[in-house]
Amino acid sequence: LISWNIFPELYTNFQLLSDCAGKLSFTWNSDGNGLNNLSLIEIEKSIVNFNGVRALLIACCWYYTLEQLISILKSMEAMVTFQAKNVKGFRRIAFGVLAISILEIFHYEWEVGTGVLILGFDYITMIIVLFFFVLAEIFKEGNQLFEEQKYTI
């Protein structure tokens, strides 16, 4: 897993400020024409929303991927393994795992007073995606051989 951490102390134009009421805010100078201000409560709500939507999308991708895998396993149990439906199923599994991998690249961890944006890429997931694409091609060839065998006298 490769990850990069972005820490506020690395950037001089970003500041963490506190007013007299103890309210914390995040201030930055984006274009040199003025300061932008965002309270940490607003940032925390945005992070919770981002992580919640991300988690929901990942769960949907997992459901879709597992549904395809169960369909393929049922067809193998019924001894109708090499069919076009399974080729599409393996491709859908590969795209589902790829979508999960893309959604898991961005991860924001939040603690009081600090926040870390982690950008991570997992090579093992890409190997799994390639594996499912290769399986789809193998099943495609198997399907073609099966179709040829049906019409052979």
Whole-prediction pTM: 0.62
**Exposure of 9 by Cβ count < 10 A (0-12 exposed, 13-18 middle, 19+ buried)?**
exposed
How far does CA 29 lie from the centroid of its chain? 31
Least confident of 53-62, 66-75, 109-118: 109-118
Can you tell me the distance from the alpha carbon of 5 to that of 128, in angstroms, rounded to the nearest whole number?
26
80 or 118, which is more confident: 80
Can you tell me the distance from the alpha carbon of 81 to that of 122, in angstroms, rounded to the nearest whole number?
31
Nearest one of 82, 60, 62 to 135, comparing CA atoms: 82
User: pLDDT for 20-59, tens place per residue?
Assistant: 655 555 555 555 555 555 555 565 666 666 777 888 899 9
Residues 6+ apart with CB under 8 A from 151: none
Which tokens sit at 81?
């393994």
Least confident of 43-52, 84-93, 96-105: 43-52
Number of H helices, E strands in the chain: 3, 6
